[in-house]
Chains A and B, each alone.
Chain A
Amino acid sequence: MGEHTWNRILEKTAETFDLPGDVVAGLPRMELVGSGEFWMEGHRGILSYGAEEILISGGRLVVRLRGKELELRSMNANTLCISGQIAGVDLE
């Protein structure tokens, strides 16, 4: 069984039993504080970095942050924080 399939099973299990997906299936957890701060736990790294657009890997999805003066405020292996004037968050 591939990793992708196993993750799908965990995700469905969490959904069925009403369990937190970030804990059971390791899904990324995102938090937007107003339009100036974006927190993300369980990221898989930054794919692209710029002052107006940042792409972050979340495993099966990619998070695209759009805005102005975007900056990576802090980052470690699990969590990152981006600040700036956030205009939109897209999931791809």
Chain B
Amino acid sequence: MQWLVNFLRGTVTLRVRGPFLERYFNICAAAGLGFWKSRQISPEELEVTLARWDLNRAIALGEKALCQVEVVEEAGLPAFLCRFRRRYGMAAGILLLAGVFLVLSRFVLVIEVEGNTAVPDSVILARLQSHGFGVGSYGPGVDVRALSNSVLLDLEELSFLTVNITGIRAQVIVRETEPAPEILDRSRAADIVAERDGVIVDVDVTGGEGVVEKGQAVLEGEVLISGMLVNERGDGSGEVTSVKQVMARGEVWAMTSRTLRAATPLQALRPGAEEEQTGWGLTILGRRLNFYGNSSNLDTGCDKMVILYPITLPDGEELPFGLWKVTWRPWETASVNAESAERYLRRCLARRLETLVEDGRVMSSRWQVEQTAEAVTVTVEAQCLEQIGRTVYLE
């Protein structure tokens, strides 16, 4: 720890010459000057180290003790800083830098959005931007309450929003609106109808009256479980005594048939291997400045790729300053491998089928591939076991 103290306050090594060195020691000690690292070079010459702030007094006391005192070495932070005392340009640069830091620290350079899952960051940031808050906004001038009220009015998916600004960093904390649960109105009468054509496999009625049986073929929209309960006289005459409307409930599983088709051309446009042109630009506070002039005509007929090189903080946070590079490559026509295209289409259709069937299962499927000179078409016909009942309220 002592070395740190010595480094901060600075030390100086003196060479003392004279006939009475011990007298110099005593005068210094009596004057309250502490010194250390005394090294005798000859009977009339020695070196001592003392704190930098005692230098002038040590030299003056040397004259009093009839000794010649000269500085041999200066060390520590003050000596280091003194080396720059005549470098006015550097001092001006440091002052300028400090000024830039002071000014820039008043502006928002980094915006973080927290607490959102369904609403993307970009949507929230775009909405904030439309209300005048974004990268480059003057932090102290932001009316957080007005801003959050305006954004909440625009974004119904959010129930709470606040902005905490700390230096250059703005933390946007949001809470999303909980979606209202789907509530079945049990006070209303309803039928369960077929959502699609199929052959009934199983009927599970928990409310109302089932009107279909296993093995029966049904069409889309046909009533499967009725919400009309009809009471007849018990003597077998078939006379209706009362009709009661209830909410039909239950599940109806059926074998359904689904046909999906997808096609892709065998000739496609893709960016060429060679670079057509490259341009560079600067990003300052989210605004882009290009150095390549008006080259927007290249955007047509070319693939445009932009690579950003932002300035990044040590913690990985990206600042709104940096370089960006644009590369244009001309489109060229290329043939697509038919087998690869077929595999791709099969994967797409299989995923689509799984999404459509949801809780059900694909029992069997038949794939068909048609290839022409221009395109590949894949068709799948699938037999699925799925729940086809859908609640429809009665008027």
Contacts and interface: CB of A to CB of B under 8 A. Distances in A.
Interface stretch (A5-13, A24-32, A46-54): A46-54
B26 interface: yes
A41 to B, nearest CB: 12
B35 A74 contact: yes
A73 interface: yes
Grouping DSSP codes into helix (H, G, I), strand (E, B) and loop, the A interface class, with mixed when no group exceeds half, is strand
B21 A49 contact: yes
A85 B364 CA distance: 100
A71 B40 contact: yes
A75 B37 contact: no
B22 A51 contact: no
Given A49-B21, A77-B32, A71 B26 contact: no
B137 to A, nearest CB: 59
A75 B25 contact: yes
Most chain B beta-carbon contacts within 10 A, residue among A46, A47, A72, A80: A72
B38 A76 contact: no
Contacts of A76: 29, 32-35
Contacts of B48: 72
Interface residues of B, number: 19
Contacts, number: 48
A71 B38 contact: yes
A83 to B, nearest CB: 9
B30 interface: yes
B326 interface: no
Contact of A48 (B22, B35, B39, B40): B22
| Most chain A C-beta atoms within 10 Å of own C-beta, residue among B21, B28, B38, B48 | B38
Contacts of B21: 49
Contacts of A72: 25, 38, 48
Contacts of B35: 74-76
Nearest to B20: A49
Chain B contact surface mostly: mixed
Contact of A46 (B26, B34, B39): B26
A45 B40 contact: no
A76 B34 CA distance: 5
Contact of B40 (A46, A51, A75): A51
Contacts of B314: none
A49 B25 contact: yes
B28 A75 contact: yes
Nearest to A56: B22
A45 B30 CA distance: 8
Contacts of A80: 29
A73 B37 contact: yes
A48 B32 CA distance: 20
B38 A77 contact: no
Contacts of B37: 73-74
Given A71-B39, A71-B40, A45 B26 contact: yes
A73 B28 CA distance: 14
B36 interface: yes
Given A45-B29, A80-B29, A75 B22 contact: no
Contacts of B36: 73-75
A86 B32 CA distance: 27
A72 B39 CA distance: 7
B29 A50 contact: no
A46 B30 CA distance: 11
B86 to A, nearest CB: 35
A47 B22 CA distance: 6
Interface in A58-79: 71-77
A43 B362 CA distance: 102
Interface of A: 45-51, 71-77, 80
19 contacts: A45-B22, A46-B22, A48-B22, A50-B40, A50-B43, A71-B40, A72-B25, A74-B34, A74-B35, A75-B25, A75-B28, A75-B29, A75-B35, A76-B32, A76-B34, A77-B30, A77-B31, A77-B32, A80-B29
